Chain A
Amino acid sequence: MIEWITLHIVEKYNFWIAMIIVIIGLTAVVVKENLLKKLIGLSIFQTAFFLWVVSLGDVGRGDILRTWGLRTGAHPILWKEAAEKGYIYMNPLPHVLMLTGIVVSAATTAVALAIVIRIYQKYGTIEEGELIEKELQFEREGVN
């Protein structure tokens, strides 16, 4: 039991914390009324997911390599002394993918903020409940 906990929870704490942050961000997206708060929650959710994928690139997590006499944690550029000491480099493939993800998340945030400004210009509010009431009122009055 202790061994199981060590193997799946203690040594992989990064994954667990990433999942907790995913829950925090997703809860904010669903529960919060304010649209800007929703966007902040969305960006937190995205970053937590990136943390999870980059942690997958740290191949030493979970004690696989230590049994082979190798150590992890070196930067993707491997220098000679580190190679002699048995270090292996971090897997750079998830880094590159998440680099793209960060730039895309900035772009989606920019578009979403532009839409929020447009919503405020039309409806005069950015709270979700009031927004629905305003929409229904506009529909009754036949305003577009």
Chain B
Amino acid sequence: MILPIDLLLLLFLLIVGTAALLVRDLLAAIVLAGAYSFIMANVWLQLGATDVAFTEAAVGAGASTALFMACLSRVPRWEKE
């Protein structure tokens, strides 16, 4: 574990997670949620959990984002106030 990288990744995690929930464009929210998953995969590499890291990168950042996109193609893109 490299401490500065670990702290920086956790800070990014907080910022990107909050941004994904605050932004009103749902497409941007889904892309930010994918970025969140990818940063989380890096955090797991820092923790030494390599197996969890590649499962998260494949399932969380890849498949889940694709499923959200497929759902978004059928519902309105903008969140109402």
Contact = CB atoms under 8 A, between A and B. Distances in A.
- Size class of the contact patch on chain A: 35 or more
Contacts of A109: 64, 67-68
A21 B17 contact: yes
Interface string A78-118: 00000000000110100110110011011001100100110
A43 B48 contact: no
A130 B20 CA distance: 23
A138 to B, nearest CB: 19
Interface of B: 1, 7, 10, 13-14, 17-18, 20-21, 26, 29-30, 33, 36-37, 40, 43-44, 47-52, 55-56, 59-60, 63-64, 67-68, 70-72, 74-76, 79-80
Interface of A: 13-14, 17, 20-21, 24-25, 28, 32-34, 36-37, 39-41, 43-44, 47, 50-51, 54-55, 57-58, 73-76, 89-90, 92, 95-96, 98-99, 102-103, 105-106, 109-110, 113, 116-117, 120, 126-127, 130
